[in-house]
């Protein structure tokens, strides 16, 4: 059995407004819940994921930390993968 988190950045340019930070929660290759900086909250995809998303979304400080990852994690590293021609 495997339980893991995957964080990633989706972007169309190096502008902060074009960057989305996503954190997914998986169990045995099934995505249970996902945080999206575009939505500013978790969304659950299974019964457990919905319950857990509701709990995480109620934790204001935790959600603020995840929102800040768009700039701290994504924006600071987008130059590693994004090149202007």
How far is it, in rounded angstroms, from Cα 16 to Cα 10? 11
The model's pLDDT over 10-69, given as tens digits with 9 standing for 90+, comes to 887 777 778 899 999 999 999 999 999 999 999 999 999 999 999 999 999 999 999 999
Domains of the chain: 3-84 (3.10.320.10)
pTM assigned to the model: 0.84
58 or 76, greater pLDDT: 58
Give the burial class of 76: count Cβ atoms within 10 A of its Cβ; 0-12 exposed, 13-18 middle, 19 or more buried.
exposed
Q: What is the pLDDT of residue 15?
A: 75
Q: What is the DSSP string of 42-64?
A: EEESSHHHHHHHHHHHH-HHHHH
């Amino acid at each position: 059995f495997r339980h893991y988190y995957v964080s990633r950045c989706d972007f169309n340019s190096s502008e902060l407004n074009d960057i989305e930070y996503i954190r997914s929660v998986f169990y045995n290759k099934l995505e249970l819940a996902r945080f999206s900086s575009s939505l500013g909250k978790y969304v659950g995809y299974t019964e457990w994921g919905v319950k857990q998303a509701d709990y995480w979304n109620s934790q204001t400080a935790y959600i603020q930390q995840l929102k800040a990852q768009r700039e701290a994690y994504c924006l600071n590293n987008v130059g590693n993968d994004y090149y202007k021609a």
